[in-house]
Amino acid sequence: MKPVVQAVRDAILENPKMEEVIKWQAPTFIYKGNLASFFPKSKAHASLMFHIGAQIPGSFPSLEGTGETGRIMKFTDLEDVEKKKKELEEIVAAWIKLKG
């Protein structure tokens, strides 16, 4: 899944306000708090966990989960990343706006 993870990483980091750090032994994307981390051991797909994804304003159909906090976005291959890239960029923009 390395090329898929790299493509997702590139899409997130296109926004110059986003930074990448290693937390919990995984790449984590931050801007005034933790936006999302990869599940590093996922083999069937790349899994990006949005720590407080339920609080990100907007409608994002690719975010999975029904709990009060976290949401997950899965990417099966490079074509799937391309299909979800615009939505991912919108999630990043909504996070940055939320965090002001």
Say which CATH number the domain at 17 has.
Answer: 3.90.1150
Question: Domain total for the chain?
Answer: 1
Which residues form the domain of 8?
2-99
Per-chain mean pLDDT for the chain: 94
pLDDT tens column, 37-53: 998 777 789 999 999 99
pLDDT computed for residue 43 by the predictor = 77
The letter for the amino acid at 48 is L
| Integer Cα distance of 43 and 61 in angstroms | 23
What does the pLDDT average to over 13-24?
95
- State the DSSP code for 100: -
Q: For residue 5, give the nearest of 49, 47, 36 by alpha carbon.
A: 47
pLDDT at 96 over 80: yes
The per-residue pLDDT for 44 is: 85
> Residue 74 to residues 16, 52, 62: CA-CA distances in angstroms?
23, 16, 8
Q: What is the DSSP string of 54-97?
A: GGS-S--TT-B--SSS-EEEEE-SHHHHHHHHHHHHHHHHHHHH
What integer pLDDT is reported at residue 100 of this predicted model? 87
Confidence of residue 35 (pLDDT cuts 50, 70, 90): very high
What is the SS3 assignment for 35?
strand
